[in-house]
Amino acid sequence: MENQKQVQVVRHFSESFKQEKVREIERNLTTVMQVSKVYGVTRAAVYKWLYKYSAHRKKQIRQIIEPMSDTHKIQEMEQKIKELERLVGQKQILLEFREK
């Protein structure tokens, strides 16, 4: 039995991408947790982006995070796609069964 090593992919995000995500967090369009999950980065990395690019952090303004966001909408759409793919698969199985 072979030992399989996990290959860790090193990704680099552009400064403009990081700034955009920080602006989304500041406008309560997304949360740190959602950015972390959707883009596969650690929460610590997202917080570093916040401390580096956020105007609010520099002024020490406290921010209240709302639950609805673009990232949340993306996750909902992905769930909907999975459900639709499951339904299409079931219909395909029924069609194949009826043909036989």
pLDDT digits (tens, 9 = 90+) for 47-70: 899 888 887 665 555 655 555 566
Residue 33's nearest CA partner among 77, 67, 82 is: 67
Q: Is residue 20 in a domain?
A: yes
pLDDT tens column, 8-44: 677 788 989 999 999 888 888 888 889 999 998 999 9
Residue 52's nearest CA partner among 83, 85, 22, 82 is: 22
Q: Is residue 35 in a domain?
A: yes
pTM of the model: 0.52
For 13, the 3-state DSSP assignment is: coil
Count of alpha carbons within 13 angstroms of residue 8, beta-carbon side = 3
pLDDT at res. 86: 94
Q: Using N-to-C axis directions, what is the helix angle for 32-39 and 15-26, rounded to 10°? A: 140
Q: Is residue 2 in a domain?
A: no
Q: Is residue 8 in a domain?
A: no
Domain interval for residue 47: 15-99
Q: Quote the tokens at residue 90.
A: 């079931």
Q: Is residue 37 in a domain?
A: yes
Q: Is residue 50 in a domain?
A: yes
Q: Domain total for the chain?
A: 1
What amino acid occupies position 84? L
Do 43 and 32 form a contact (C-beta atoms < 8 A)? Answer: yes
